[in-house]
Structure 1
Amino acid sequence: MVERCDREGWLLIRNYNDEIGASVVDVFGTDDRAAVERYCRANQITFEWREGGGLRTWQRRSAVVRHPISGRRCWFNQIAFLNPWTLADEVREYLVDMYGEDGLPFNTRFGNGDPIGPEIVQTINAAYEARTVRAPWQAGDLLLVDNIRTAHGREPFEGPRDVIVALADPVRLTGR
């Protein structure tokens, strides 16, 4: 699977509308179709305007990239996270019944357009879980994350916390 993803990349399909998920304005900061289209073209995003003002986009991206400093190959994508097989069964079934598979807020596929089934998503999520490090936090702790080398997320948390984010200059990543 890693070799296939490295070779083909992955496809992110998004549907933006005012009914479910993010709207065009939420994501692009404007309802000006020409501005949205310029952004999409500049970022290699294929797009299609839908009835009612919705927007559907497709982005083919590398699944494995070279780290800009070490040169190491890194699994760097959201194939599992944005795939409907990550959702609870009843949520996924409801959304597919209401909007159809092509109308879901997000979906992922292999770079050639083939579907990514539940067994692939389970394999990816199992790999993440096997390598997950959980550490108890204490007042004053600070965590720095290399966003390319480290998959990160959040788990349920109760109580006060401050999350402060600082981003460096963006780096154009290359596959292979």
Structure 2
Amino acid sequence: MRSALFHRQHVSAPTLLPEIESSTGGAGAAAWMAAHRGEVLAVVAEHGAAVVTGLGLHSVSDVEAVLGQLGVSPVREAEGFAARTEHAYGVYSSAAWPPRQPMCMHHELSYAGQFPGLLLFACLRAPATGGTTALADAAAVLDALPSEIVERFEREGWLLTRAYHEEIGTSLTQAFGTTDTHAIDRHCRDMDIVAEWQPDGSLRTRQHRRAVVRYPGTGRRCWFNQIAFLNQWTMDLEVREFLIDEYGLDGLPFNTYYGNGDSVAADTVEQINKVYEAHAVRRPWQAGDLMLVDNIRTAHSREPYEGPRQVVVAMADPKRQASPAAQTRSAAT
């Protein structure tokens, strides 16, 4: 066993999701985490994720207090792909996403210049059915993907395009916290994003990122991106056709490409999602659960559900990344 706290492992091939049992509840959750954070973080470091049960988390303030005892800096979301409610610094509601539509496997903000290294998911209210936050090991996914997919994306990186409209998708305020064009331009420059303001005042952006990254410390290669999730072929067919008719292909709220700008074929997106599914680990939510996820090593998804569901998300341990082109320029100098 990894530590005295380690209660049991929920086994679901090909990986393990450790469970750590706490006998405290509610008001004692923060004190328990302060006393055991080293052991909890060690389990996450070993396995890429862990679930802590018995904390009795009932409110956003409980989650904020637990986050404060982990000894990691909170991260404020920028460039989110779906609207959230900010409850506290680094603590948010789940992304606004239709309950009956799955949210595909992804790494949070893997396209952004700054992303969280650690995610906390706290279940304050479990749904009647479904709503599982499934996980997948990023290194195992990389090893299982067809070599022709990996080699091209690793060589070229991937490109995310976004179009910000008032009517659909994420608004400028939701993504950047402001509508001030100078502030948005400054953010985009700082984060290696190409920003193009349209004649109607809307914004389109492009950002070039690595698809495969090496995990800090170990150097293990991880499939770290949102190529499949944010691609046009993952959209509902009727929604995709409507948006293209209304705004054109370049006006989709988001889409992904190879690093050189070539389109990603539908069967490539399907292959990526099939590999994710083959490596998915599932554990139904119970109210009060806390799931900690290493955002580089472990991808996550959200499955369809029925009934009210309240899962609070906390983001922490900020990491920076640059576009492949920016890294090449830096190495040359």
- Aligned AA (1:83): N
Q: 2:286 matched to which residue of 1?
A: 138
Q: Provide the rounded CA distance (Å) in 1 between the counterparts of 2:322 and 2:171.
A: 29
Q: 2:215 matched to which residue of 1?
A: 67
- Aligned AA (1:50): Q
2:219 is the counterpart of 1:86: no
The answer on whether the counterparts of 1:66 and 1:173 sit within 8 Å (CA) in structure 2 is: no
Name the SS for the 1:57 alignment partner: strand
Deviations 1:92-130 (A, max 9, x none): 111111111011111100001000110111011111111
Name the SS for the 1:65 alignment partner: strand
With over 3 angstroms needed to count, the CA separation of the structure-2 counterparts of 1:25 and 1:162, relative to structure 1, is: closer
Q: 2:277 matched to which residue of 1?
A: 129
Q: Provide the rounded CA distance (Å) in 2 between the counterparts of 1:19 and 1:158.
A: 27
State the percentage of identical aligned residues: 62
Greater Cα shift, 56-65 or 20-29: 20-29
Greater Cα shift, 100-109 or 22-31: 22-31
- Aligned AA (1:70): T
Q: 2:130 matched to which residue of 1?
A: none
Runs of 4 or more, structure 1, over 6 Å off, are none
Q: Provide the rounded CA distance (Å) in 1 between the counterparts of 2:208 and 2:311.
A: 31
With over 3 angstroms needed to count, the CA separation of the structure-2 counterparts of 1:95 and 1:75, relative to structure 1, is: same
Normalized per residue, which structure has more strand?
2
Q: 2:173 is matched with which residue: 25, 28, 43?
A: 25
Name the SS for the 1:37 alignment partner: helix
Greater Rg by CA: 2
CA RMSD in angstroms comes to 1.9
2:250 is the counterpart of 1:106: no
Q: 2:313 is matched with which residue: 165, 168, 175?
A: 165
The answer on whether the counterparts of 1:65 and 1:175 sit within 8 Å (CA) in structure 2 is: no
TM-score (norm 1): 0.92
- If asked which structure has higher relative contact order (CA below 8 Å, sep 6+), I would say 2
With over 3 angstroms needed to count, the CA separation of the structure-2 counterparts of 1:25 and 1:141, relative to structure 1, is: closer
TM-score (norm 2): 0.50
